Amino acid sequence: MRQQTAMKSDWIATARTLSQALPYLQRYDDAIVVIKLGGHAMGSDEAMESFARDVVLMQQVGVNPVIVHGGGPMINQMLDKLEIKSEFVNGKRVTDEATIEVVEMVLSGRVNKRIVQAINAQGGRAVGLSGKDANLITCDPVHPDLGLVGAPNDIDPSVLRSMFRDDMIPVIAPLGSGRDGKTFNINGDTAAGAIAAALKADRLLLLTDVDGVKDADGVVVTEMTPAQIKDMTTAGIIAGGMIPKTETALEAIRGGVRAVVILDGRAPNACLLELFTDHGAGSLIRA
């Protein structure tokens, strides 16, 4: 009897949550949400399954999700296995012809198809592609010393809009084509920000392995402006790996993205918490 009472209480709580989510479901109907997937959410099968279920639910209630993924650890594993040595300049990997072949094989193959399969297993219709497909991302070299590392220069999102009309979920590997036809490796956050800006996305969600942007006392700042980010970066409060993420956020907002959220991809249902509850998640950045 007690067990039945507890189960009824759980279902009532679920129904209440769904009811409270109605304004947010209406708010994000037909909205475009770009999600940069990386870190822990890509590591375990359980986390991948949970993420895929959330993405399918988002689409089911009217959101147009776009997934852009990384894959650095998997690339490192394959390079080590093939005994291909990497050099780094200022913390960035020099990508030569041998390395780019491995990068493309891992990102467009193993990593991309794993995400596609996970989403499809939850009832979605995911399609894997890279920035090279349909001229989605055209690149210029970041710096001669880095070799085949590209910066997105031109984004053609028409293929993504076609997929939205057919209820498909794009899963994009961060690769692009140079003007000479060469393949370029792109930082995953940078690629996600550029695609979000080209789509004028309502949200760009950057999933990381930290709770969000923290202040000098180590407390997550839940809402931020570009001016605050610049001040905190100048003061050294925003440092290390958080700098490229906040730079991506600022660039995306300048490009027309309504808001960017840096949030912890390890938290269960992080994307749903951010989009469909009062609670939100991580650090929200908007102009």
- Note the pLDDT tens digit of each residue in 67-106: 999 888 888 899 999 999 888 776 677 899 999 999 999 9
In a domain, 200, yes or no: yes
pLDDT of residue 13: 67
Q: Show the domain range for 230.
A: 29-285
In a domain, 22, yes or no: no
In a domain, 23, yes or no: no
The 3-class SS string of 126-193 reads EEEEECCHHHCEEEEECCHHHECEEEEEEECCHHHHHHHHCCCEEEEECEEEECCCCEEECCHHHHHH
pLDDT of residue 17: 65
Residue partners of 250: CB distance under 8 A and separation at least 6:
226, 229, 285
- Strands 92-93 and 88-89 come out as antiparallel
Q: Count of domains in the chain?
A: 1
In a domain, 14, yes or no: no
Q: Mean pLDDT in the chain?
A: 89
Q: With CA atoms as reference, report the closest residue to 30 among 171, 165, 144, 219.
A: 165
In a domain, 10, yes or no: no
In a domain, 9, yes or no: no
pLDDT exceeding 90 applies to what percent of the chain?
66
Q: What angle do CA 129, 131, 136 make, to 5 degrees?
A: 105
How many other C-beta atoms can be found within 10 angstroms of the C-beta atom of residue 258? 16
- Check which CATH number belongs to the domain holding 165 and give it: 3.40.1160.10
**pTM listed for this prediction:** 0.90
Query: Half-sphere exposure of 194 toward its Cβ, with a 13 Å CA cutoff?
Result: 22
Q: Residue 281 pLDDT more than 90?
A: no
CA-based max dimension of the chain: 71
In a domain, 192, yes or no: yes
In a domain, 72, yes or no: yes
